[in-house]
Amino acid sequence: MASQPGESGLSIRDVGMVYRRGEQVTTALVGCSLEIPEGNWASLIGASGCGKSTLLRILADIVRPTSGTALVGGVTPAEARAARTFALVSQQSTMLPWRKILANVELGLEVAGVDKVERKRRAEEAIELVGLKGFEQAFPSELSGGMRQRAAIARALTLKPRFLLMDEPFGALDEITREKLNFELLRILKETSATLLLVTHSISEAIILSDTVAVMSPRPGRISHVVDIGFGHERTGAMRDDPQFGAYESELRHALHGPAGAPRPMATPSPSHALA
Contact 203/246 with Cβ under 8 angstroms? no
Give the mean model confidence (pLDDT) for residues 48-77. Answer: 94
For residue 220, cis peptide bond before it (omega within 30 degrees of 0)? yes
Share of the chain above pLDDT 90, in %: 64
Contact 203/43 with Cβ under 8 angstroms? no
Give the mean model confidence (pLDDT) for residues 58-81. Answer: 95
Phi first, then psi, for residue 152 (nearest 5°) are -65, -40
Contact 229/248 with Cβ under 8 angstroms? yes
Of 38 and 94, more confident: 38
Q: Is the pLDDT of residue 2 over 60?
A: no
Give the CA angle between residues 18, 21, 26 to the nearest 5°: 35
Q: What is the pLDDT of residues 174-193, one digit of tens each?
A: 888 888 889 989 988 998 89
Q: How far, CA to CA in Å, does 210 sit from each of 41, 42, 151, 164, 233?
A: 5, 5, 22, 13, 9
Q: What is the pLDDT of residues 201-214, one digit of tens each?
A: 999 999 999 999 99
- The pTM of the full predicted model, rounded to 2 decimals, is 0.85
Q: What are the chain's domains?
A: 10-85+161-273 (3.40.50.300), 95-160 (no CATH)
Residue type (1 letter), 105: V
Please give the pLDDT value at position 169. Answer: 87
Of 61 and 257, more confident: 61
Contact 240/231 with Cβ under 8 angstroms? no
Q: Is the pLDDT of residue 269 over 60?
A: no
Phi first, then psi, for residue 224 (nearest 5°) are -100, -15
Which neighbouring-strand residues pair with 72? 10, 75
Q: Are strands 67-72 and 223-228 parallel, antiparallel or unpaired?
A: unpaired
